[in-house]
Amino acid sequence: MTARQRTALVTDSTGDVPEDEASALEITVVPAVLTVDGRSYRDGVDISRSSLYGRMAFMANLPTTAAPSPAAFHEAYERILAKGFDRILSVHVSPKLSGILNVAAQVARQFGDRVHVFDSGQVSLGMGFQVLEAAAAALRGDPFETVVEIARRARRRAHLIAAIDTLEFLKRSGRVSWIRASLGDLLQVKLVVDVMDGVVRRLGQVRTRQKALEMLLDHMRTWGPLSRAAVLHSAAPERAAALAQRVAAAFGIHPITVDVTTAIGAHVGPGSVGAVGLTCEP
């Protein structure tokens, strides 16, 4: 902590914040919980992505995900405040997609106004970029109110789009209700979705991965100039590399590439790709 930095950032593992950036910006990441065959693992800590995806095709019961325990958040907040920080901004996945924010908010009430819980309205680096923007402001020593406002502005500028390779995993996870209702029409397609205010929206469907990629890029072009970009994938590194090249050519910005955390991969299954953009400040 610098002499001026009085605000700390906390987030959860569904934000896919790269470990090196979390370390450099002093971001605390509280891991979600993944249950596989009756055994619980801390997301990103106790189970690797490759281990999960290698087993999913053979599982009779898909992994389930859960929020971190209240104790995990309490320990994180208490440890940070004991270091001398005045305030904590705790940024989390949309409550429409997970119960994590509700657990964080429950614990935050025990700390009064020292902990402020923030709904990112997003997931993966759609949330992670908000955390990185706010953490950079905190490290500069910006006032708490400024750090929160920077997070709010980043939330308005964050976009996430994905091409889901197979709907079987998303259907079985039960997290997107309209997939169950329309599954009969979607079994043989690649589905393109985005996330807006915590809602997974269906943008279209195509028959091939290449057409899905083109649809994904076409929608990205409507976002406008980007200050940050990322390519996401679930055990699809070659497709992610191809998408990253296209994103760099289209936007003139080199995206980071992230193999999404197991808490997300458990719901989308292997083979999916996506992209996140943070538009430039107006």
| Domains of the chain by start residue, with CATH | 7-156 (3.40.50.10170), 158-279 (3.30.1180.10)
Residue 100 has pLDDT above 70, yes or no: yes
Contact criterion met (CB below 8 Å) for 195 and 123: yes
More confident residue, 165 or 258: 258
3-state secondary structure of 53: helix
- Which amino acid, residue 228? R
Range 10-39 average pLDDT: 94
- Diameter of the chain by CA atoms? 59
d(CA 33, CA 92): 14
User: Where is 26: in which H helix or E strand?
Assistant: none
Would you state the pLDDT for residue 104?
Answer: 98
Q: Is 236 exposed, middle or buried (0-12, 13-18, 19+ CB in 10 A)?
A: buried
Contact criterion met (CB below 8 Å) for 263 and 14: yes
Tell which residue, 216, 27, 15, has the closest CA to residue 119. Answer: 15
For the chain, the straight-line distance linking the first and the last C-alpha, in angstroms and rounded, comes to 31
Would you state the pLDDT for residue 279?
Answer: 97
Residue 151 has pLDDT above 50, yes or no: yes
pLDDT digits (tens, 9 = 90+) for 55-92: 776 777 778 889 999 999 999 999 999 999 999 999 99
pLDDT digits (tens, 9 = 90+) for 220-230: 999 999 999 99
Average of per-residue pLDDT values in the chain: 89
